[in-house]
Amino acid sequence: MVSLIQSFPPYLIAAVASNWRIQDKPSSSYSALTSFPKHRRTSFIVSAANPDDYHATLKALNSRNRFPRKSLGQHYMLNSTVNEQLVSVANVKNGDLVLEIGPGTGSLTNVLIVAGATVLAIEKDPHMAALVKERFADTDRLKVLEEDFTRCHIRSHMLSLLEGQNLAASDIRRAKVVANIPFNISKDVVKQLLPMGDIFSEVVLLLQDEAALRLVEPSSKSSEYRPINVFVKFYSEWQFMPLMAVNTVYCSEMWVFGSPKVRCNILVLTQVDAAVVTFKLKHPSEYPSVPSIESFFSLVHSAFNGKRKMLRKTLQHMFTSSEIEAALDGAGLPATSRPDELTLDDFVKLHNSLASS
């Protein structure tokens, strides 16, 4: 890490020591930091994107004396064009109701409000929730809830907002989700939101490209194929748009060895390969026809217990071998089928055939 930092020209290394104050012109150099007392926490910036984007973000963080926190996946967006792309992909129009997860400093929230949306923002970090409330205190088109999205009752929050809109039946539109989410909760977010096609028309997420590909790309006969891929296809039609080198800022820790040794919080301005994934949610009336969605996914999960095993083995705690073979036959599948060979349609046929046996 030290050699990485040293490889940057000094003007790209902004020492923002002295309690995290931002300097308009990065001036201090890396070597200046080594004169700080041992174990003193300090911070500095490596590399630089568009100065306006990073200064706006850093000033917002500085106003609350905050570092981006790794545990909360706080990678803050420094490309305002990416925020605009997200809003345009979701086709956000005047009067839309939009759910944003993790508004952070409010850079995407701002673009949503400018586009005319009313925004419900769920932010787990109390400091960032307070920052966003303060930043948009002048508008009544933002409601910020300080909650953990993975634990909140999003359906009841959305229903009370939709009901409160007092719209005529012909004007009621389903809401949208537009968010740059922390990568560590991307699977939870997808699992919670995709079955809500009665409330949301689309979910547009900025995801790390590898996480995005794991969710949407693997199809049957691929070694990466998992129950989550069957789940995504059951509830949505998706589109994937890769974005190379998106500028974000996050915080990392390092020891700078010297005399004395200094522990630093480093603000790293970095570029990540991300992707915008749009899930067009099916309305519940469009879901594949199964007698029970719960028992359908229970079958899919059981089928993948022992991915390389044949279904007549993995499902034998639920059905007899002859029931499974008859159902496979009824679904037009070989008796030796394995879970990663079945498409969504195949699973539906297999489930329905077993359910009626």
* By CB under 6 A, residue 52 contacts ligand SAM: no
* By CB under 6 A, residue 150 contacts ligand SAM: yes
* By CB under 6 A, residue 142 contacts ligand SAM: no
The CA distance from 202 to 193, in Å, is: 9
Interface region with ligand SAM, contact rule CB under 6 A, candidates 28-36, 104-112, 262-270, 339-347: 104-112
Going 338 to 340 to 345 to 351, the CA torsion angle's sign is: positive
The CA distance from 147 to 188, in Å, is: 15
The CA distance from 266 to 257, in Å, is: 14
Number of residues forming the site for ligand SAM (CB under 6 A)? 24
* By CB under 6 A, residue 96 contacts ligand SAM: no
Residue among 85, 87, 102, 350 that touches ligand SAM (CB under 6 A): 102
Q: Which is nearer to ligand SAM, 114 or 335 (CB)?
A: 114
The CA distance from 251 to 17, in Å, is: 14
C-alpha R_g of the chain: 24
Which segments within the chain are labelled E, that is strand? 13-15, 42-46, 76-77, 97-101, 118-122, 142-145, 175-180, 200-208, 236-256, 262-281
Strands 142-145 and 175-180: unpaired
* By CB under 6 A, residue 103 contacts ligand SAM: yes
Q: Which is nearer to ligand SAM, 176 or 349 (CB)?
A: 176
Q: Which is nearer to ligand SAM, 23 or 80 (CB)?
A: 80
* By CB under 6 A, residue 26 contacts ligand SAM: no
Q: Which amino acid is at 192?
A: Q
* By CB under 6 A, residue 197 contacts ligand SAM: no
Strands 13-15 and 175-180: unpaired
Q: Which of 36, 39, 45, 38 minimizes the C-alpha distance to 18?
A: 36
Span 53-82, contacts to ligand SAM by CB under 6 A: 72-77
Interface region with ligand SAM, contact rule CB under 6 A, candidates 38-46, 143-151, 320-328, 344-352: 143-151
To ligand SAM, the closest distance from the beta carbon of 176 in angstroms equals 15
What does the binding site for ligand SAM look like in residue numbers (CB under 6 A)?
72-77, 101-105, 107-108, 122-125, 128, 148-150, 180, 182, 185
In the annotated binding site, the residues are 75, 77, 102, 123, 148, 180
In the annotated binding site for S-adenosyl-L-methionine, the residues are 75, 77, 102, 123, 148, 180
